[in-house]
Amino acid sequence: SGDAKPAGKAPVPAYAAKVATAVESLIDDDDNRGPLLVRLAWHSSGTYAKGGSPAGGSDGARMRFSPEAKDGANAGLEKARALLEPIKKAHPDISYADLYTYAGAVAIEHMGGPHIPFRFGRSDFRSEAEIASAKAAVASGRLPDAAQGASHIRDVFYRMGFNDQEIVALSGAHTLGRCHTDRSGFEGPWSFAPTTMSNQYFDLLNKEIEKPGYWTVRKWDGPKQYKDPTGELMMLPTDMALIEDDKFRPYVQLYAKDEAAFFKDFAAAFATLLHLGVDEAKLGETA
């Protein structure tokens, strides 16, 4: 018979829209959850090493188990995973690995950002032992250290396969959310609207270029961070590195001027990030 379809990519699963709605209501319930979900998606994916052994990345949802569950860089993300647990219970067919990344994509769009192209198909490890026997355990140290500078940022993101423009675009996620002393040791939000996706982070960094001295080192007991003239906002040393570095700085200036360019570049780079290390053959159609 002539109507057999060639084997192709799996269609977007039927649960996708319901999961998206459930994630959106989590964000609407409590303003602080969207940024936390974006951080979960990023830390799930950001362990990737091009050509690395283990490769890392979001496939497998290893953050539920040691060593990633205990990585200090992931402090606070147990809260994000707990928030998503009822959604996993209600939609058991979605893998944790898809859920942890998809929730971040949904959160970006629901907070006013661009649509993030997303493909389902990741699978889950079921235990620490299974991760160990697959030699897939990723030791701590692959996620960036906020106390460092441009060369460290390049080491980490080049390892994932990103270029300078993509590094700056991805960093714009810091418009969202805040630092917590009991998680990272740093304190405060980067922007005045931390639950709205915008280019405000770049606008605030650009103020330093236009008026040097806008950001100053905060005098306090905690780790080195910067404060703005209002004293309400903060920047990390890695954020300031984006304007100190000659190759990063032009992208900060571009995105400060042009939010549409930021959204377009962010959507592309964040989509790439969420799919790093996932076998192309496992991934379905783009949602």
Residues with a catalytic annotation lie at 43, 190
- Cβ proximity to ligand CCH: between 187 and 203 the closer is 187
- Provide the 8-state DSSP code for 13: P
Q: Where on the chain is the footprint of ligand CCH (CB under 6 A)? A: 35-36, 38-39, 42, 76, 144, 146, 153, 170-171, 173-174, 176-180, 183-184, 186, 236, 238, 270
Q: Which two tokens stand for residue 19?
A: 């999961």
- Cβ proximity to ligand CCH: between 31 and 85 the closer is 31
Which residue lies nearest ligand CCH, judged by its C-beta? 177
> Measured from the CB of residue 8, what is the shortest distance to ligand CCH in angstroms?
30
Q: Which residues of 81-118 are buried (b: 16+ CB within 10 A; e: fewer)?
A: bebbeebbeebeebbbbbbbbbbbbbbbbbbebbebeb
SS3 at position 283? coil
> Measured from the CB of residue 149, what is the shortest distance to ligand CCH in angstroms?
10
> Measured from the CB of residue 3, what is the shortest distance to ligand CCH in angstroms?
44
Q: Which two tokens stand for residue 203?
A: 């606008």
- Cβ proximity to ligand CCH: between 9 and 183 the closer is 183
What is the edge-to-edge ordering of all strands in the sheet holding 234-235? 216-217, 226-227, 234-235
- Cβ proximity to ligand CCH: between 52 and 144 the closer is 144
d(CA 65, CA 129): 9
> Measured from the CB of residue 11, what is the shortest distance to ligand CCH in angstroms?
28
Instruction: List residues bridging with 178 in a β-sheet.
Output: 189
